[in-house]
C-alpha cells in the first residue's frame, strides 16, 4: 500500500468478505484513548475497538481484531520494534497535538475530515519546533538519562505535564488478585 499512489482503505478483508471500517481519525483516536485507559479491562478495550471500528461486526472476532490492528497501524503488519518508552499520550497530550497540527500543517483538527492513515502520515511529520515534539524529545532524554541538569530542573518544574501514564495491560483477574493482596496487607497493618 502506497499512500501516494493507492486509494486509502475504507474496508478490510476478513475471509472472503469486505467489511467497512470507520476510518475517520476521531474514531481511531477514541479507540487508542480506550487502550490508554487503565480503568478498562483488556476485554472492554477489545469491545470498544470492534464496536467503534466496524459499523457491522464481522463474525470472526479473532480475524476482525487482527485486521483492526493492521488498520490502526496504518497497514503495517507484525510487531513494531520499540525500546518500550512511552513518550506521549493521545488523551493527555491532546492540546499539544492539536496545536502541532495547526502549527506544522495549518490544519485545524476541529474543522477537518481526515482518513486515519492521512492523520498518521501527518502526525509522523509534526515539526520539531512544536511544543508537542519538544515535550516528546525532553521525555525521551529524561527516560534515557541524557537530559542536562537544566532540563531535569525544568522537567521537575513542569510537574505532571512531563509524566506519561503507563498502560496497565494486566487482566481483570490479575488486577483483582492485586486488590485482594493489598486489602490483606492493609488488614494486617491495622492489627
Across the strands, what pairs with 17? 14
Task: With cut-offs at 50, 70 and 90, classify the pLDDT of residue 82.
Answer: low
The helix, strand and coil proportions of the chain, stated in percent and rounded to the nearest 5, come to 55, 5, 40
DSSP secondary structure of 132-152: HHHHHHHHHHHHHT---HHHH
User: Looking at the predicted structure, is the pLDDT value of residue 171 above 70?
Assistant: no
Q: What is the pLDDT of residue 16?
A: 94
pLDDT top residue among 118 and 81: 118
More confident position, 190 or 149: 149
- Domain assignments of the chain as residue spans, ordered by start: 11-72
Q: 18-36, pLDDT tens digit by residue?
A: 999 999 999 999 999 999 9
Instruction: Note the pLDDT of residue 79.
Output: 57
1: confidence class by pLDDT, cuts 50, 70, 90: confident
Instruction: Indicate the pLDDT class of residue 81, thresholds 50, 70 and 90.
Output: low
Tell the residue number behind the cell numbers 476510518, with chain if given: 23
Continuous segment of H or E residues that includes residue 155: helix 149-158
Q: Give how far the C-alpha of residue 59 lies from the chain's centroid of Cα atoms, to the nearest Å.
A: 26
Report the sign of the C-alpha dihedral through residues 68, 74, 77, 82, in that order.
negative
Confidence of residue 83 (pLDDT cuts 50, 70, 90): low
Q: Mean pLDDT, to the nearest integer, of 77-97?
A: 81
Residue-wise pLDDT for 160-170, tens only, equals 889 887 777 76
Is it the case that residue 137 has pLDDT exceeding 80?
A: yes
* Predicted TM-score of the model (pTM): 0.84
Mean of per-residue pLDDT scores for the chain = 91
Nearest-angstrom CA–CA distance, 72 and 169: 18
Q: Helix or strand or coil: residue 11?
A: strand
- Torsion over CA of 56, 60, 61 and 65, rounded to 10 degrees? -90
Amino acid at each position: 500500500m502506497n499512500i501516494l499512489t493507492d486509494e486509502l482503505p475504507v474496508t478490510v478483508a476478513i475471509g472472503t468478505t469486505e467489511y467497512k471500517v470507520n476510518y475517520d481519525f476521531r474514531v481511531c483516536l477514541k479507540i487508542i484513548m480506550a487502550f490508554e485507559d487503565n480503568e478498562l479491562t483488556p476485554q472492554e478495550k477489545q469491545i470498544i475497538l470492534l464496536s467503534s471500528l466496524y459499523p457491522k461486526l464481522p463474525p470472526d472476532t479473532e480475524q476482525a481484531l487482527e485486521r483492526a490492528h493492521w488498520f490502526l497501524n496504518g497497514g503495517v503488519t507484525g510487531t513494531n520494534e520499540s525500546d518500550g518508552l512511552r513518550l506521549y499520550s493521545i488523551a493527555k497530550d491532546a492540546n499539544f497535538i492539536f496545536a502541532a497540527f495547526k502549527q506544522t500543517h495549518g490544519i485545524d483538527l476541529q474543522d477537518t475530515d481526515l482518513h486515519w492513515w492521512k492523520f498518521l502520515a501527518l502526525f509522523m511529520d509534526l515539526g520539531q519546533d512544536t511544543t508537542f515534539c519538544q515535550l516528546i524529545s525532553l521525555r525521551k532524554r529524561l527516560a534515557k538519562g541524557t537530559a542536562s541538569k537544566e532540563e531535569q530542573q525544568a522537567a521537575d518544574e513542569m510537574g505532571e505535564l512531563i509524566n506519561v501514564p503507563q498502560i496497565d495491560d494486566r487482566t481483570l483477574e490479575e488486577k483483582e488478585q492485586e486488590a485482594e493482596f493489598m486489602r490483606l496487607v492493609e488488614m494486617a497493618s491495622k492489627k
